[in-house]
Amino acid sequence: MDTDFAKRRRRDLIVAFCLAAIAAVVPLFVKDVYVQNIMVLTLMYGALSQSWNILSGYCGQISLGHALYFGLGAYTTTILFTKFGVLPWFGMIGGGVISAVIAMALGYPCFRLRGHYFAIATIVIAEIALLLIQNWEWAGAALGITIPMSGDSWLKFQFARSKLPYFYFALGLVCVAWFVTWWLEDSKWGYWWRAVKDNPDAAESLGVVVFNSKMGAAAVSAFLTAIGGAFYAQFVSYIDPESVMGFQFSLLMALPAVLGGIGTLWGPMLGAVILIPLTELTRSFIGGSGRGVDLIVYGGLIIAISLARPQGLVSLFAPKRKEATR
């Protein structure tokens, strides 16, 4: 017999499939490059936030240093391509694997920490990496690295004019991140993570290996984030330490999930769909003066949403509680 939960999961899958199909045809009708650019960024932030959500939302380990994994992905693929001629497709996977390994190596000491001590540790680790790259001449130091363009090519995943390939890659990444989350949600990992989030001591006493489940969440989360970073490097074809590894970026990555609904399946994507176009539009329409009005609007929006909907915007869609059917 189907439980409500199983029904909901099947419905989630169908809705996701329909949304992805609709999203896939949108750029065929919307040809404006500016709008397409915003769509790519929205999908990218959706994917990043979804990845962040696995570690911080489901498993409850608030990371404010995910820019580290994003930056690692961006730098690995860019360095491999510009210095060794390795195609970005391999660099992307390489960056993902390196990030996952580093996430576990860092998790080994860090997962002993709790609450703010953990969050601040993630910040300072990302910050150390940022400072090291800024001072590493071979890797471009503070100036960063430009990826040389040599005409449109799927092999090198670079396209001078068309945004479409980037759009479809970003859409694919979102779908993968969403599907991984969907799949893990109902796996034993998903249950462990929620138990660890709610009460690590109780979870441990019931046989959940808390440490391992945190490590698993960190690895998956870091891997997907790094793929996002590699994608971003290809998309803008220029990276510098501050823009891919800065502390602000860690917060921006978490923001869609927090405003959309932390630890929920749809929260990160919903947050991204609302937040990113708004950010980009305010930036280009009222930010041009350089006078900070866009920041005021953006910050005000963050305050308003987080105070008005602490459980996230996704709660607006929550079905009415059915008490009688239980």
Partner 1 sequence: MTAETIIQSLASGLLMGLLYGLIAVGLALIFGLMDVVNFAHGEFLMIAMYATFFLFAFFAIDPLLAAPLVAAALFVFGALVYLLIVRFAVRAKANAGMVQIFSTFGLAIVMRGVAQFFFTPDYRSVTHSWLGGKTVSLGGIFLPQPQLIGAAVAMAAFGGLYFFINRTDFGRALEATREDAGAVALVGIDKNKVFALGWGLGAALVGLAGAIMSIFFYIYPDVGASFALIAYVTVALGGFGSVFGAFAGGIIVGLVEASTALMLPPSLKSVGIYAVYLLVVFVRPRGLFGSM
Residue ranges in contact with partner 1 by CB under 8 A: 62, 109, 112-117, 120-121, 123-125, 127-128, 131-132, 134-135, 247-248, 251, 255, 258-259, 262, 290-303, 306-307, 310-312
Least distance from C-beta 127 to partner 1, angstroms?
Answer: 6
- The answer to whether residues 140 and 243 touch, using CB atoms and an 8 Å cutoff, is no
293, two tokens: 């009005």
Least distance from C-beta 116 to partner 1, angstroms?
Answer: 6
Query: Distance between the two ends of the chain, CA-based, in angstroms?
Result: 14
Q: Which is nearer to partner 1, 114 or 188 (CB)?
A: 114
- The answer to whether residues 91 and 145 touch, using CB atoms and an 8 Å cutoff, is no
Can you point out the beta strands (E) in the chain?
Answer: 145-146, 238-239
Q: Which is nearer to partner 1, 163 or 194 (CB)?
A: 194
The span from the CA of 117 to the CA of 123, in Å, is: 10
Q: Which is nearer to partner 1, 91 or 268 (CB)?
A: 268
The span from the CA of 286 to the CA of 312, in Å, is: 27
Least distance from C-beta 280 to partner 1, angstroms?
Answer: 15
Q: How many CB atoms lie within 10 A of CB 136?
A: 13
Least distance from C-beta 305 to partner 1, angstroms?
Answer: 9
The span from the CA of 220 to the CA of 109, in Å, is: 18
Q: Report CA Rg, the chain.
A: 20
DSSP of 199-215: -HHHHHHTT--HHHHHH
Q: Which is nearer to partner 1, 215 or 230 (CB)?
A: 215
Least distance from C-beta 162 to partner 1, angstroms?
Answer: 34
Q: Which is nearer to partner 1, 13 or 251 (CB)?
A: 251
Q: How many CB atoms lie within 10 A of CB 169?
A: 19
Q: Which is nearer to partner 1, 96 or 261 (CB)?
A: 261
The span from the CA of 166 to the CA of 181, in Å, is: 22
Q: Which is nearer to partner 1, 121 or 147 (CB)?
A: 121
Least distance from C-beta 252 to partner 1, angstroms?
Answer: 10
Least distance from C-beta 15 to partner 1, angstroms?
Answer: 23
Fill in the DSSP letter of residue 86: -
